[in-house]
C-alpha cells in the first residue's frame, strides 16, 4: 500500500470527467481493446482473459507465480497478467485503467486500490458482483474475515473481491529495545516520542534513529481516527480533520524529526527507502504495511530480533484497509465474465490465499484460511504476521465519497510540507482542509 507522488493530483481530480459518458453497462459482449480473447486450442476453446495489476518488485514475481499456477490447473482458461505501474494513490495502473475504460478497451480484470473503489464504482464501469458473491461457495461475504470487505462495497453493493489486502502496523527492533531498556512497544504517540529519544544513538554514518515516520496518507488516516478526529463530515460535504488532537499527533512526530531523533525519507521511493532503513538497522521503529513483512523477514535474517505491534493511538485505535481488490469490468463477453469469476474464486480460496499470504506477508482473506492448522503453525513460528490478523478488529472503512482520493492526495501534499519541509502543522492542516472543501461541495 503506497501513495503516489503529487503530480497525479490533477489526474485524480479529472477521473470523473474522464469516465463520464463513455462505455456501456451490463455484461454485453465486446470485442475491442485489451480484454482477453477466446482462442481455439485443438478442438477446445481457451478463454484468454487479461488482468492488470500494480504491485512491483518481488510482489510482481509472486503474482506471476500464482497466475502460472492457475493457468496450469485450468487448461480452458488462460490469464495474461501484466504490471501496469503502481496501483496506489491514483498511480499509473489506475490512470491507464481509467483511460482504457473511457476508450472502451479495458482489461477483463483489474486491481483497484482500496481508496479508489468509490471513483470506479460510482462511474458505473465496474460489474456488480453482489449476486456472484452471494451464490459463490467460495466468496460468500460471510466467508471473509471480519472487516475484509469494507473497501469492496459501494452503495450497498459489492464491486470488488480482495486481491492483496493489508493493514499498517508498527515494526520495531527488539534488539535495540532491549539495549535501551524498553520492554514493550509504544501504545500511544506520547510513548512513541519518549521511546524514540531513548532509542536514538551514535552519529554520522553509524547513527541509529529511534523512529522513521512514514510520510503517507495511509497511516495518517489512522492518526486522524485514533486522535478522535474524522476525515469527513457524515454527509461527506466537509473535511473535518483540522483538529487540535490531530495537530498534536503530527507536531509530536515533526518535533522528533527536527531534533534529529527521527529520519524522514523523501522522493518517489520514500516508502522503499524507509523499509530498507528498518531492515538495515538504521531506524528502530517505523510504520509499514504488513505486506512488507516477508521482505523484512528475508532482509533482516539473523541480524537482529524484530517484531510488529498495533499502531499507536490516543483515544481509540482504528486502522484503514490497505492494498487492492479485484474488479471485473462491465461490457466484457459473458465467457470472459465466467472465466474471471473462476479466477477470483481460485485466488481467494483458502489454499491459495494462504499461499499468497506466506509468499508476501499480505493477509489471508478467508476465515477458513486463518483457522487452518498449517497457518496457525506458521503464525507460531512467525508471530510478526499475527499482529495484522489481530488488528483487523480495529479496521475502519474510509469515508464513502467519490472525492476521497482527491482529499487524501491534498493531505499527502500537506504531510510532505510538514515532514519534508518543516512547515507549521496547523497551516498545513488548514491548507488541506480548504483544498478538500473546494471539491466536496459543502
In a domain, 391, yes or no: no
Domain boundary among 365, 380, 395: 380
Say if residue 211 is in the same domain as residue 240: yes
Say if residue 52 is in the same domain as residue 133: yes
How far apart (Å, rounded) are the C-alpha atoms in residues 110 and 319? 25
In a domain, 65, yes or no: yes
How far apart (Å, rounded) are the C-alpha atoms in residues 394 and 146? 10
Provide the H-helix boundaries in 301-403.
334-348, 350-360, 367-371, 373-381, 386-391
Looking at residue 124, the DSSP 8-state letter turns out to be T
Arithmetic mean of pLDDT, 270-287: 96
In a domain, 295, yes or no: yes
In a domain, 390, yes or no: no
How far apart (Å, rounded) are the C-alpha atoms in residues 27 and 437? 37
Domain that holds residue 372: 6-165+323-380
Question: Which has the higher per-residue pLDDT, 361 or 311?
Answer: 311
Say if residue 201 is in the same domain as residue 153: no
Say if residue 303 is in the same domain as residue 226: yes
Burial grade of 225 (CB within 10 A; 0-12, 13-18, 19 or more): buried
Number of domains in the chain: 2
pTM score, whole prediction: 0.85
Say if residue 135 is in the same domain as residue 268: no
**Helix orientation angle between 293-300 and 350-360, rounded to the nearest 10 degrees:** 40
Burial grade of 157 (CB within 10 A; 0-12, 13-18, 19 or more): middle
Say if residue 309 is in the same domain as residue 328: no
Arithmetic mean of pLDDT, 229-244: 96
The CATH number covering residue 288 comes to: 3.40.190.10
Say if residue 56 is in the same domain as residue 193: no
pLDDT of the residue at 419: 97
In a domain, 37, yes or no: yes
Q: For the chain, give me the number of helices (H) and strands (E)? A: 19, 11
How far apart (Å, rounded) are the C-alpha atoms in residues 163 and 357? 11
In a domain, 116, yes or no: yes
pLDDT digits (tens, 9 = 90+) for 124-153: 999 999 999 999 999 999 999 988 998 899
How far apart (Å, rounded) are the C-alpha atoms in residues 147 and 62? 25
Say if residue 80 is in the same domain as residue 12: yes
Say if residue 127 is in the same domain as residue 105: yes
What is the pLDDT of the chain when averaged over all its residues? Answer: 89
Say if residue 327 is in the same domain as residue 313: no
In a domain, 94, yes or no: yes
Amino acid at each position: 500500500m503506497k501513495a503516489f507522488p503529487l503530480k497525479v493530483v490533477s489526474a485524480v481530480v479529472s477521473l470523473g470527467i474522464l469516465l463520464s459518458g463513455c462505455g456501456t453497462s451490463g455484461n454485453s459482449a465486446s470485442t475491442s481493446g485489451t480484454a482477453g480473447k477466446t482462442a481455439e486450442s485443438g478442438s477446445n476453446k481457451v478463454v484468454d482473459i487479461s488482468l492488470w495489476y500494480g504491485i512491483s518488485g518481488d510482489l510482481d514475481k509472486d503474482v506471476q507465480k500464482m497466475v502460472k499456477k492457475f493457468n496450469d490447473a485450468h487448461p480452458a482458461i488462460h490469464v495474461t497478467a501484466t504490471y501496469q505501474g503502481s496501483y496506489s494513490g491514483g498511480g499509473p495502473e489506475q490512470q491507464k485503467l481509467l483511460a482504457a475504460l473511457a476508450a472502451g478497451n479495458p482489461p477483463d480484470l483489474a486491481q483497484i486500490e482500496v481508496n479508489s473503489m468509490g471513483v470506479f464504482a460510482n462511474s458505473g464501469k465496474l460489474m456488480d458482483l453482489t449476486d456472484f458473491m452471494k451464490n459463490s461457495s467460495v466468496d460468500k461475504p460471510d466467508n471473509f474475515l471480519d472487516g475484509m470487505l469494507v473497501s469492496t462495497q459501494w452503495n450497498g453493493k459489492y464491486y470488488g473481491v480482495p486481491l492483496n489486502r493489508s493493514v499498517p502496523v508498527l515494526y520495531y527492533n527488539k534488539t535495540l529495545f532491549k539495549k535501551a531498556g524498553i520492554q514493550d512497544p509504544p501504545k500511544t504517540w506520547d510513548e512513541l516520542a519518549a521511546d524514540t529519544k531513548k532509542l536514538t544513538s551514535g552519529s554520522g554514518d553509524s547513527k541509529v534513529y529511534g523512529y522513521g515516520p512514514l510520510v503517507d496518507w495511509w497511516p495518517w488516516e489512522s492518526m486522524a481516527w485514533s486522535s478522535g478526529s474524522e476525515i469527513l463530515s457524515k454527509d461527506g460535504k466537509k473535511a473535518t480533520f483540522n483538529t487540535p488532537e490531530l495537530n498534536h499527533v503530527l507536531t509530536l512526530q515533526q518535533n522528533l524529526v527536527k531534533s534529529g531523533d527521527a529520519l524522514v525519507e523523501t522522493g518517489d521511493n520514500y516508502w522503499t527507502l524507509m523499509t530498507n532503513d528498518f531492515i538495515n538497522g538504521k531506524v528502530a521503529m517505523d510504520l509499514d504495511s504488513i505486506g512488507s513483512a516477508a521482505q523484512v523477514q528475508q532482509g533482516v535474517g539473523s541480524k537482529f530480533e524484530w517484531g510488529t505491534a498495533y499502531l499507536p493511538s490516543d483515544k481509540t485505535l482504528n486502522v484503514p484497509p490497505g492494498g487492492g481488490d479485484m474488479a471485473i469490468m462491465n461490457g466484457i463477453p459473458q465467457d470472459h465474465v465466467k472465466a474471471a469469476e473462476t479466477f477470483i474464486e481460485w485466488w481467494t480460496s483458502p489454499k491459495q490465499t494462504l499461499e499468497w499470504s506466506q509468499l508476501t506477508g499480505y493477509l489471508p482473506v478467508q476465515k477458513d484460511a486463518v483457522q487452518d492448522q498449517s497457518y496457525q503453525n506458521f503464525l507460531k513460528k512467525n508471530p510478526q504476521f499475527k499482529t495484522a490478523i489481530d488488528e483487523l478488529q480495529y479496521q475502519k472503512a474510509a469515508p464513502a465519497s467519490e472525492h476521497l482520493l482527491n482529499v487524501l492526495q491534498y493531505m499527502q501534499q500537506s504531510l510532505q510540507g510538514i515532514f519534508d519541509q518543516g512547515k507549521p502543522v496547523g497551516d498545513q492542516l488548514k491548507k488541506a482542509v480548504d483544498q478538500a472543501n473546494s471539491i466536496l461541495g459543502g
